[in-house]
A = this chain, B = another copy of it.
Amino acid sequence: MIETKDITLTSFQWPAGYYNDGIEMGIGQSDKLDFGYLVSEVPASAAGTYTTNKFQAAPTKLTKNMINQDHQLQAMVVNSAIANSCTGEQGEDNALTEQQLLSEKLGIDAHLVGVASTGLIGAQLPMDKVIAGIKQLSPHHEDNVTKAVLTTDKHSKQACVQLEMSGKTVTITGFAKGSGMIHPKMATMLGFVTTDAAIDGKLLQATLSENVDTTFNQITVDGDTSTNDMVVVMANGMAGAPKLTSKEDADFSSFQAGLHLVLQELAKQIAADGEGATKLVECNVNGAFSDLEGQEVAKAIVGSNLVKSAIFGQDPNWGRIISTVGMTNAHVDIAHVDIEINGIKMVQDSLALPFDEQMASDSMGANKVVIDVNLHVGSATGQAWGCDLTYNYVKINASYHT
């Protein structure tokens, strides 16, 4: 568990040395920002995690290849509405063209430019609009790029922390798009984190990978893993703090705690704004055999359609929670499972406790529902976040394509 108690979220602001833009190019059919860029004034250390779906989209592959060269990046070009996934050679050429055009516009090496797309699978990008879009982009310091990556998201996901490193104030700022096809596996949907901390690229990669496992990889909206998932972190060092090169460095633990908090906050915002969702569901598992098993159980509970439907209906139906525990591969003492919903004890030693059903149901009307499960087989823990399953999830996904 990363200790984040001394670090708190602050209002949105960019770290030193970043600018961005988000514009409406009409790539999709709705009136929204759908194209943009994110740029650091100087090359930044960079790290990423990427979807494990075998059909990795062209922009995801390209960005992964760029970052893995020497863990450096200076700019990202992004679009929503079309995922540029399952688009063959033409799709790869189109991603390369985006990279090439933005690097020419910025006067930087092409390998310092990453590409991210999200939206419909199987369609080609309208390159005339993309080329016109790259020409139109201009440096701003508002948050339009955080809106340009959204699809069915109701609002943008942002998280910002500030911390002291060797007397300098360092800012870590992240944003993300989520909504549907959200069930990251060793990777995630589109997430972007910028910081003005200085950190070695490989150390940044190791730190990101570790912290994604307990944040982005612990959320689920619908159990479907997208072809375009990606989290990218850029660290440009412009805060002036000494460069982190080892986990033993004095400031590393506070940097990691800050990064963890930003990733966790974005993950929770994505879960809360899952397609059609009316509330965030948080599951805390205690007494697990291992942290991995605690995480597995927590994620299974927030991922159960039956649990999610019950939460939508404010139905304190704990039978579906314990049944989900029993479906997992985790060690369970089947005679000693405890369950609480919103702090109301419902199950002790795997048996029903009397409780006020009306009060429990009323408490589930809030915009956050917390499920606590104790497995009583060890001392490890796990957390996961999801959302309720609603009529609107079905409505949105019955008519996304046309």
Contacts and interface: CB of A to CB of B under 8 A. Distances in A.
Interface in A299-318: 303-306, 309-310, 312-318
A399 interface: yes
Nearest to A225: B327
A361 interface: yes
Interface residues of A, number: 67
A261 B79 CA distance: 50
Contacts of A223: 223, 303-305
A319 B120 contact: yes
B224 A305 contact: yes
A320 interface: yes
Contact of A305 (B55, B56, B316, B397): B397
A88 B347 CA distance: 12
A180 B306 contact: yes
Nearest to A226: B323
A313 B397 contact: yes
Taken together, the copies of this chain in the complex come to 2
Interface in A11-38: none
B397 A323 contact: no
Contacts of A46: none
Given A350-B88, A351-B87, A121 B322 contact: yes
B224 A86 contact: no
Given A86-B319, A181-B306, A326 B397 contact: no
Contacts of A86: 319, 322, 347, 350-352
A5 interface: no
A389 interface: yes
A127 interface: no
B397 A310 contact: yes
Given A313-B398, A401-B310, A55 B224 contact: no
Nearest to A395: B391
B394 A323 contact: no
Contact of A325 (B52, B54, B123, B335): B54
Given A394-B391, A394-B394, A319 B352 contact: no
B224 A181 contact: no
A134 interface: no
A402 interface: yes
In this complex, the member of A309, A318, A361 whose beta carbon has the largest number of chain B beta carbons within 10 angstroms is A309
A156 B234 CA distance: 59
A310 B54 contact: no
Contacts of A180: 306
A111 B72 CA distance: 71
A357 B391 CA distance: 25
Contacts of A326: 53-56, 225, 227
A196 interface: no
A310 B227 contact: no
A222 interface: yes
Contacts of A352: 86, 122-123
A62 B319 CA distance: 20
A55 to B, nearest CB: 4
Given A86-B352, A391-B394, A222 B306 contact: yes
Ranked nearest first, the 6 interchain pairs of A and B with the lowest CB-CB distance are A313-B398, A121-B319, A309-B397, A55-B326, A54-B326, A53-B326
Given A88-B350, A223-B303, A310-B400, 15 more contacts: A55-B326, A85-B319, A87-B351, A88-B335, A121-B323, A122-B318, A122-B322, A223-B304, A224-B305, A226-B323, A310-B397, A310-B401, A315-B400, A390-B394, A391-B395
14 contacts: A53-B326, A86-B322, A86-B352, A121-B320, A122-B318, A122-B319, A224-B324, A224-B327, A225-B327, A305-B305, A309-B397, A309-B398, A316-B401, A391-B391
